[in-house]
Structure 1
Amino acid sequence: MSRTRTRADLIERAVAETGLPRAEVSAMLDDMLRLMGSALMNCETVKLTGFGSLQVRSRAARTGRNPRTGTEHEISPRHTVVFTPSAQLRQALATRVSGGDIRESTREVATVDR
């Protein structure tokens, strides 16, 4: 079964690995997420070496279709955040997949550890 990592999970793991106080780790994560969000709100790219980059992209207006009824409707233009994994992350995932650490029934990739 797939496991979603939450903010609390990340904090607990960082506390365990660094020995820093939970409040300090939590504040650091909050600051990092705030800085990343602020950069994205300013349409800047956030690059995290060894992990990937987050980039704001514009999507044009388009016609969508309700799959149930088939009726068409206009989807307004918007901005969206796109994640592009780094070469190292892609390689690690490819190694895991080829090594059999992927569930074939759901195509879920196992957690990648350094």
Structure 2
Amino acid sequence: MTRSDLAEAIFRRVGLSRLESAHLVEAVIEEVSGAILRGENVKLSSFGTFMQRSKRERVGRNPKTGVEATISPRKVLIFKASHIMRDRINNGRNDG
């Protein structure tokens, strides 16, 4: 699903104009992104939680050559689905 797909779905279901729907999608993405960048967790009930996690420096290996290389410390984005979403996926339900 793309941003435009999401905006189109909002347009069809909510009745906002296409432009208003696109602005709404952008505003939500900006708000979620900003919170994650500030180091906050973003929890969307019945969907899941987005979290930022720090990874330490470590030694990795190039799978092609086998040569060891140092992987620098970095931050990664983690998504943990809620138990409700996991149940919906595992049971093949599409309630929304």
- The two structures have a TM-score, normalised by structure 2, of 0.94
Q: Percent identity?
A: 35
Q: For 2:52, give the aligned amino acid.
A: V
Q: Which runs of 5+ in 1 are unaligned?
A: 100-111
**Deviations along 1:2-57, whole A, 9 cap, x unmatched?**
xxx11111111111111110111111111111111111111000000111010011
Counterpart of 1:64 (choices 49, 60, 81) is 60
- Give 1:113 deviation, angstroms: 4.2
Tell me the distance in 1 between the aligned counterparts of 2:95 and 2:60: 39
Would you say how many aligned residue pairs link Structure 1 and Structure 2?
Answer: 96
1:20 counterpart residue number: 16
Aligned AA (2:17) = P
* Aligned with 2:89 (options 89, 93, 97): 93
Matches for 1:1-114 after TM superposition, within 5 Å:
5-96=1-92, 112-114=94-96
In the TM superposition, structure 1's runs of 4+ consecutive aligned residues that sit over 2 Å from their partners are none
Q: CA RMSD in A?
A: 1.3
1 or 2, which has the higher helix percentage?
2
Unaligned runs of 5+ in 2: none
Q: Distance in 1 between matches of 2:28 and 2:9?
A: 16
Q: CA deviation at 1:87?
A: 1.2
